[in-house]
Structure 1
Amino acid sequence: MSLAELLLLAVGLAMDAFAVSVCGSMVLTPDNRLRGALRFGSWFGAFQFLMPVIGYFGAVSFRDYITEYDHWLAFFLLLYLG
């Protein structure tokens, strides 16, 4: 996955999270609805954007230590989940 694909994925997740949190904040009172929707949406969207980016850079720095047995790790995780 290239950096451009990662950023597109992160932006897509952020927009989705923003929309969900804006709709979720519609249960607030009408006085606080706009401010709450923007606040919740901004925080939720920012974290959904940052999580894949942080995970990507963490994985890139970690891959030298795990490339010899990563296929076995994936096999056992999928075996456990399946």
Structure 2
Amino acid sequence: MNFVATASLALAMSTDAFAAAVGKGAALQRPQWREALRTGAIFGVIEGLTPLLGWALGNAAAPYVEAWDHWIAFVLLGLLGLRMIREGCSAPEQGEDKPNSHSFMRLALTGMATSIDALIVGAGLAFIDANILMTAAAIGFATFVMVTLGVMLGRGLGALVGKRAELLGGIVLITIGSLILYDHLQPPVA
């Protein structure tokens, strides 16, 4: 794979993580660059490791994972989205503020849900002449940058939508999961 193909693949793999990061940033109380970089690093590491895992599994696991990847992403993103919507719709407690950061586990689960497609890409790269280490690093770096920027963009959206930013983030995650499912259930173009 050449540079343009690798860069395009890396950008494509980071787009759903970017959308999720906007929702994460909107749900926070004025996220700072430190939190945005932390979130970007968590997503970037996960998104960079999943193609390596997919590549290692290669031909043996690709048919099994490919058959279920869209359902796994749909369920994980849907559950996370529903939880965010529930929290966004709950009555604020006296003096309740938005959190300053999300838990590592919440970020890691969202990162895993948005990186299942990278697992499949890694499995596919096992069959072509591609430098998997370079490709995985490019995907991880692109995701790091896109997620960091997404959190900071969400910061501005959070100021606009106020307390219900968590609701917006949940809707974004459910939409991403639904689009992944819809895309995979479409009949192949002949």
Give TM-score scaled by structure 1 length: 0.46
Q: Between Structure 1 and Structure 2, whose CA radius of gyration is higher?
A: 1
Structure showing greater relative contact order (alpha-carbon pairs closer than 8 Å, 6 or more residues apart): 2
Q: Which has the higher helix share?
A: 1
Give TM-score scaled by structure 2 length: 0.24
